[in-house]
Structure formats: C-alpha cells, structure tokens
Chains A and B, each alone.
Chain A
Amino acid sequence: MNVEPLEDDRHHRFVLNMGPQHPSTHGVLRVLLELEGEYAMNLHPVLGYGHRCHEKIAEHKPAKSFMPNTARMDYLGALIYNHGYAQILEKATGVEAPQRAEYIRVITSELNRIQSHLLWYGAYLLDLGAFTPIMYAFDDREHILDILEDITGSRLTYCYYRVGGVSKDIDDKFISSTRAFIDRLRGRFPMYEQLVNGNIILQNRLNGVGDLTPQTCARYGITGPMLRGTGVAYDLRRAEPYSVYSEFDFEIPTETKGDCMASFLVRYREMEQSLRIIEQALDKLPEGPVMAAKVPKKLKIPAGDYNSSVEAPRGELSYYLVSDGTDTPYRLKVRTPSYSNLSVVPEMCQGMLLSDVVSAMGSLDLVIPEIDR
C-alpha cells in the first residue's frame, strides 16, 4: 500500500480500518480512523479500490462510443453523466440537438436525479439505524426505474442520450406513467415528513453535526446539496443554465446552517423541485424529431479545448476535453463532485464521535465509482 502509516505509537489511540468492506461506506471506500476512545482524531480516506481507468479508455476509442462508460462512473446519475458528455461533444462539433430532445433530456435527467436522491434517502437513514425507510424509498424508486427502463432499455447504467439528441422518442405511456409517478411521490412526501424528517432521534443525530461554511466549501471545491446547505444558492441549472433549464420555474432549496440536517433537507426538497421541472417540461413538450438531422458517423472533433458542466445529483460535474482534430479525444478529464466532496472529510470529521463520522459521511451522498472512475 502507498498509504502513509498513521501515528500509532500513542498508547491511548488506535487505528480502526473502516472499509473497504463496511456497511456504511456503500462501496469500496476505505477510511483509516485514528481513534481516541470513540472520537475520531484523524481520518484518512484511501481511494482506488474501484478504479477502472475510464479517462484513459476515453483516449482509445472514438468519442461517440465513450457514452456507455459515462454511465458507469456514477451509476445513480447515469443520465446526467450522459447529458454532460453529449453536451460537450455537441459543443465541440457544433451539432445541435432538436428542442424536443432537449426537453426529453431534462425530463429523464430529473427523473434520474429523484431516483438518486431517493436511494440516498433510504441508504442514509439505514446508516443512522432506521431500517424501514429504505424499503419505502425503493418502492418509489422502482417506479422511476420502470419508467426509464421502458424508454431507455436499461434500469441503472443508461446510454440513452446521443450526440445530437436522444436514441428513442418517448411515447404516451411514458408521459402518463410519469404523471402518475409525480402524483404518487407527492402523496408520499407527507408520510416521509411526518414519520422520518420530524423524528426527534433523527433531528438529534443530524443537527449540529458536520458543520460546513461557504469558505470551507470554496477551499475544497464542494458543490451540490452540501454547498447549498451552507446558504449558497449555487446550482448550475440556474447559475449557468444549460439545455432548456432556463425555461422552467423552479426554486433552489437552500439552508443556512451547513450541518448534516441542512444538506438532508436540501436534498429532500430538491426532489419536489425536480417534480416541478418534470411537470412543466411535460406540459411544454414540443413536437418534432428527437435526433439532429445530420450527425456524421465518424465524428471529427475540431482541435482545441472544450469544457461543459452539468448539475449532477451530488454537485457540479465537468467534462474537459482536449482534441487534436481526430475522432478520438486526446485527453478527457472528468471532474466528479463526490471526489471533491470527499476531500473535506478529514477536516469535517476531525474530533467527531464514530457515530457522527458515519452520519457525516452519509450526508456526502458518496457514490464510490464516481470517486474511483
């Protein structure tokens, strides 16, 4: 291992190896904890167990055929990763996706975001010791997976967007089942709020744990719900509207305290805002083709540097592409939100109780393949 050994000579401290197989790291993340009693005095995340060299693979195949790999980086926000990648290639080659395709992208991306948040909701409460909510969250999430499976063909690692549009038009069944899902989830929110969010044990576990400030977030490059939990209403859908997001009316939920409860509530409220976006997009959905008319088979990317960012469920996702004029990128850099968000853990969790380390790390909503891509 390349890991520096932690100072273990002080007799009253010992090192606890949390992961790579541990119930609350949700994947192959390993955290070395230097503990004094139950207090974590030092934390050291160890990465690399799930590294699959996606960025290197991108340099070895035509840009268009890298699309499935983007889904494997973040299996929960696969469509949004598709979206960012399709967007950067469209930007580079000048292909324009038709309006209907952009609407479909927004609808499916937001469904994907709700799906990701629902899984986080259940898994986070599982970390806190509540077993039951994950079953209810999965019950709701299952509907999204069914809806998306009907239209994209897969349930988790979608490859639905193409350069210049989407692979398949949506049908009436998709629209009606999406509307039914919106009503269903809105009907479930009061139950979640009464049974879970208002629970006194949950509030005591989350309030005042893992405090962040906007300055800390800026230093570590933290984005997404954690940043919005500190009171900064920074959401790329509003800050730099991409696709057709500028046409919808939605709020950016923020909280001011910056603790675990704040990011918990931000994520929870984002689901409602995503429902609003989907509803408006379904109402405004224009007619027309879903693929641009002329997309060359061999997509030559003009030489140069390109950048494109989208708002992933966990924060800002950026692709940075350097092209030498062929159809294969010279270099593709992916800036994933979880990686930056994880980097704050040693500072945020220092001096915390072991139980609080679990709840603070859960509030990052880590998806490990996104960190080790």
Chain B
Amino acid sequence: METLYSIFPELIRIIVCAIGGAVIVFGNALVMGYAERKLAGHIMLRPGPMEVGFHGIIQLVVDGLKLMGKQLVVPAQADKPLFMLAPILAFAPVFVPLLVIPFSDKLQGFDLDIGLLVILAFASINVLAILIGGWGSNNKYSLFGAFRSVAQNVAYEIPMLISLLAIVFMTNTFSLREVAAAQSPVWFVVVQPLAFLIYIVAMVAETNRAPFDLPEAESELTAGFHTEYSGMSFSLFVLGEYANMFIVCSVATVFFLGGSSGIDLPYAEYTGVVWFLAKVYALMFFLIWIRWTYPRTRFDQLMNFCWKYLIPFSLVNLLITVVVVKLI
C-alpha cells in the first residue's frame, strides 16, 4: 500500500503527460493544417478555405471527420501487414519527444539527462515508417519516394546532430531544460549563428518540406511514399509530419532561441509557454513561407549540398566551439 501511495504522483504525471501530448499533436495538426492552407492561399492570391465556419476556421475538423469516414484501401498487390504498420509507426513515436520538451520552467513532462538523444532517436523512427510504407505499397513511385526519403533523412541527421553538439559542448548537458536555462543573458542564436543556419536547413530536409520535399515530389512521383494511402492511414502520416515539424521547431527554440524566456508575465514559470509557442510557430511560419515560395531542388544537388557544405561547415563550427570552450 505504501509503495502504491509513493508512485501515485508519478502515475498522475504520466497520465497528464499522455493527455497533454495528444492535445499538442492533434491541436498542432489542426492549427498548422489551417495555417498552412490559409497562408498558402494568401501567398497564391486566393483566400484559402472560406466556406466552413468563419473564414473556414473549422475546415480542418470537417476534413478530419471526412478522412476518418473513408475506407482504408489496401492495394491488392501490397504487403498488407507492412502497409498497415507504416502509418502507425510514423505516428506513434511522436509522443515521446514531446515529454522531454520544456514548454516553460515547470511545464515539462520529464527532465531527462539524455533529453536530446531521446528526441533524435525517436524522430529517426519516422524514416523507418516511410521506408516500410513505400516498400509495402508495392508501387514504384512509393518506392522511389521511400528511397529518397531514407537517403535524405540519414544524410541530414548528421549536420543536424553536429550543429546541436556545438551547443551541448557549451552547456555540458543533454538536458533540454538546462540548455534553455543556460541562455539567460544571450540566446545561442547570437553565439552560434552558423550552427543555427545549418540546423534550420537540416530541419527543413528532415521534415521533408519544400524545397526539400523530394520524397513526395508530386510532379515527379505523384505523391511519393504515400501515393497508395487514403483515409485515416494517410492522415496518420500527415499528423506525424506536423508533429515532427513541431518537435524540430521546439528543439530549435530550446537550443537557439532561449526556450521559454521572454518578457516576464505573471506566473512566469508557467506562462513562459506563451513565449515558447510563439517562437515555435514563428519558425513554423517560416517553414510554410519557404515551402510556397521556392521550387524543389534536385536529388543529387540536395545530397551534394549536405555532404559538401553542411557537414564540413558544421564540423568546423564544432571544432571552433570546442577549442573556444576549452580555452575559456
């Protein structure tokens, strides 16, 4: 009885974290889906969704209901278990990174010592899901999309990690909360501008967004790896993609933009979440903005850019950081 009593607060914490994670994943997908369509519309000289609710505000809810009601079509020649597994595998891991993100000083699921590693490890599972989905669909376009995605994500994880490592060397910790706390006088974007730039580029490639959206290049591969998916299995991929965007933008916020710091509001240890979300969504806006502005790069150019520029520059940046940290 005594032991149950002692783990009771932890149990409550886990339940609250799970609910909070679900709220963030679905809420973020609704906000981002609407923002993406609305911003894309205005960038393209058209109003975007206008019919359902005031300025189409509940369009995404209706779309979600529609997708839930659709039949799950499995192609006759597809590998059925893999085909059904892929969307779940794309969607399920996104909850874990959300647990270690410090939304404000006190709003954090678990402050793990290896917070960054948890995020990177679970974000990488997405590649596996895309590969399984592309292979399981038994469609040549899907397969191309999957292959491109694997090559691209594996390549871009390297500069992403190295640019973050520079910060880790400076702060001497993998814990996201301590990294955020270490930026009290100046944000690391000022100290490490090159690492920030590299991270932003790698982040766009990591989330398969334009101009690096080669895995789903619709003019070449119709829809890439999710060509054969429909209904809820398709929307799980989309939910996973938006959640991944949220996670990489959160990491950028924590590592470079000072986490939840900002002008102090009342109850600052909780209301810092306002600043945190403002920074995250500013980055997301940037992602949407470039998606609807630039054409798509070619695959070899994308890989060349990573191996010839991003990785060497991030290594040089890391080396300089290490030397400077050692000297100081």
Contact = CB atoms under 8 A, between A and B. Distances in A.
Given A14-B140, A23-B219, A355-B220, A125 B45 contact: no
| Among A125, A126, A201, residue most surrounded by chain B Cβ atoms (within 10 Å) | A201
Interface stretch (A73-81, A132-140, A216-224): A132-140
B218 A355 contact: no
A259 interface: no
A201 B219 contact: no
Interface stretch (B113-121, B254-262, B288-296, B319-327): B288-296
B220 A132 contact: no
Given A135-B46, A354-B144, A204 B219 contact: no
B37 to A, nearest CB: 12
B199 to A, nearest CB: 20
A128 B298 CA distance: 9
B40 interface: yes
Interface string B261-297: 0000000000000000000000000000000111111
B140 A16 contact: yes
A306 interface: no
Nearest to B43: A132
Contacts of B301: 204-205
Contacts of A354: 144, 220-221
A201 B211 contact: yes
B132 interface: no
B44 A129 contact: no
Contact of B298 (A24, A127, A195, A353): A353
Contacts of B2: none
Interface in B188-236: 210-211, 213, 217-222
A189 interface: no
A132 B44 CA distance: 5
B313 interface: no
Contacts of A127: 219
Contacts of A125: 295
A125 B293 CA distance: 11
A202 interface: yes
B295 A358 contact: no
Contacts, number: 72
A131 B292 contact: yes
Given A139-B45, A354-B144, A201 B218 contact: no
Contacts of A90: none
Interface in B19-49: 40, 43-46
Contacts of A126: 219
Interface in B294-325: 294-301
Nearest to A209: B298
B299 A22 contact: no
Contacts of B218: 23
A38 B302 CA distance: 14
A126 B211 CA distance: 12
B294 A199 contact: yes
Given A128-B296, A201-B297, A358 B140 contact: no
A127 B219 CA distance: 5
A204 B296 CA distance: 10
B217 A129 contact: yes
Interface of A: 14, 16, 22-24, 38, 125-132, 135-136, 139, 195, 199, 201-202, 204-205, 353-356, 358
5 contacts: A127-B219, A199-B295, A201-B211, A201-B297, A355-B299
Given A16-B141, A130-B293, A202-B295, 8 more contacts: A14-B140, A129-B210, A129-B294, A131-B44, A131-B292, A201-B297, A355-B217, A355-B296
In the A-B complex, list the 7 residue pairs whose CB atoms are closest, starting with the nearest: A129-B296, A130-B295, A135-B44, A128-B295, A24-B219, A127-B219, A355-B298
